[in-house]
Amino acid sequence: MEEFFRQNYLLLTHSFEILAAITGLVLYKKYKFVAAKYFIWFLVFVVLAEFISTYTLYIDNDGYFSFLKGTVFQKNYWWGTIYWSIGSIMFFSFYFIRVLEAKSHRLILRLTSCSFLLFSVLYIIFNWEAYFTRSLTALRIFGALIIFLCAVFYFIEVLMSDKILNFYKSINFYIATTIFVWWLITTPLIFYDIYFRSVDWNFIILKWQIYLFVNIFMYSTFTFALIYCKPELKND
């Protein structure tokens, strides 16, 4: 089983990512006039970003990018920080600012997301070497807090409106729930990254299993939501 995860982790994860993105593109006409269209663009971006991150597979054994061996770009932590640790947080902030109706909620998200972006830039500048060698814990924690804000604000508005009667038909409900669960499960793992870097294979396999499960859960839920849900015209 461990060997299976080592050999097929990327294939399984990318397969579900691509499935969600393709589903979004096929159904793009359905959501082209609502905020969910930006979510479809994001899914396509994630697929492209994940494809770029695989360049590290072609560095060893005289691969196409062997010239990067021994440089700061030998690992893809820097890219993961840009497109996921920072990029995904900024996207979901942008998305829920368009979805939320309460001005106070939108204002708080704007302020926190701008603060997060400024903090991220300064943190990377003052931790330049770590930026290329490991995940930046502070950014992941700050980012998780913003994701929780997005989800909690959305849930509050649903509970306080007529949306509660048909919440299960809203794609925004599935997005909020899924990202909340994903960040809730994965955020604590960053405190154990020292074991991942020290080649503790017991932890590495466990971490891969957790990420594989939550990634499959996240992208399969997105795929289901795109197919099942109806556009909410007033949200855009």
3-state secondary structure of 32: coil
pLDDT in tens, 193-226: 665 555 666 777 778 888 999 999 999 999 999 9
pLDDT digits (tens, 9 = 90+) for 40-84: 999 999 999 999 999 998 988 778 888 888 899 999 999 999 999
Amino acid at 102: A
Measure the CA–CA gap between 228 and 15, rounded to whole angstroms: 20
Q: Per-domain residue ranges for the chain? A: 2-235
* Residue 29 · residue 232 · CB < 8 Å: no
Judge whether 173 and 167 are in contact, CB under 8 Å: yes
Neighbour tally for 105: CB within 10 Å: 20
Q: At what angle do helices 87-99 and 103-126 cross, to 10 degrees?
A: 170
Instruction: Write the burial class of residue 36 (CB in 10 Å: 0-12 exposed, 13-18 middle, 19+ buried).
Output: buried
- pLDDT, one tens digit per residue, over 103-141 is 999 999 999 999 999 999 999 999 999 999 888 999 999
Mean model confidence pLDDT for the chain: 90
pLDDT at 198: 54
Residue type for position 71: T
pLDDT for the residue numbered 236: 42
